Amino acid sequence: MIHWQPITEHISQTLNISLQLSNHLSVGGGSINSCYQITGTDGQEFFVKLNSIALESMFQVEFDALNELSQALSNTDSAIRVPEPICFGHTDNNSYLVLEYLPLDARGNHQAFGIALAKMHQITAKQHGWYQNNVIGSTPQSNAQHPDWLTFWREQRLLPQFNMLYDKGHKRRLQPLADILLEQLSTILDNHQPVPSLLHGDLWSGNYAFQTANQPVLFDPALYYGDRETDMAMTELFGGFSADFYQAYQATWPLDEGYQQRKTLYNLYHILNHANLFGSSYLNQAISMIEKLCKSDF
């Protein structure tokens, strides 16, 4: 049972309004959270994510990530918008995150989106990572900062995923290949020293849309600063974005030579995470990707 009263009271206190709940409508929100569009008697609308009390910290880091994206984007001419985070907390039954409600459409100007994402990636930091850890899906994601990209990708991305799979009983099958791959990282990433770009971190087709004025909107970030190619690689992982999107991105800030080889390494992280979240079918895919990387001539 959902206790809406403490949530509406928190919204009221945060925004200094009087919110009386008129309606709540369950909406799609992926496989991790339960999501609702709520409406007040005065017509106010909000988007609410719910999960177990134990996962309140997941909502806290998403709240911080949306603030970081919003503040960083406000200082650029990137057209990307993110929903404004309102508040987060917990009731007796659930943790919650309340966001601005934005009417969204899957249709929009993909060329404008490509340009806007390239400009977002031009927002940079001094080191790879972020000042706090977060999650990818519901998996803990370490963002311990490091000036060297290869070290960051090995220590904060690949190794934690491998170790979680080892703990799930896949060590004998996976570790020999993983060890070879980790030894070859210096070859795969040879002389590739990207600037730490502001990243969405989980950029598949389910995490963007458009407002009615064709403005691209990003949500559900797994934010950190790192190689922009990781965002671009993930756009290709589950079916790909439109040709207009890629052409516009490349025209605005062309990807570095060797991206076509590195994208398999970057997408391996997400497939390993899916193996940890959803099981062995993704493990088979991950092993195939590792074998491909180990046999490639970089």
Catalytic residue positions, numbered? 202
Q: Could you give the CA distance from residue 242 to residue 45 in angstroms, rounded to a whole number?
A: 31
- For 127, the 3-state DSSP assignment is coil
Nearest to 7 by CA among 52, 41, 43, 50: 50
* Type of residue found at 204: W
Contacts of 54 (CB under 8 A, 6+ apart): 95
Task: Say if residues 127 and 51 touch (Cβ distance below 8 Å).
Answer: no
Q: Could you give the CA distance from residue 126 to residue 137 in angstroms, rounded to a whole number?
A: 26
Task: Say if residues 269 and 158 touch (Cβ distance below 8 Å).
Answer: yes
CB atoms within 10 A of CB 62: 23
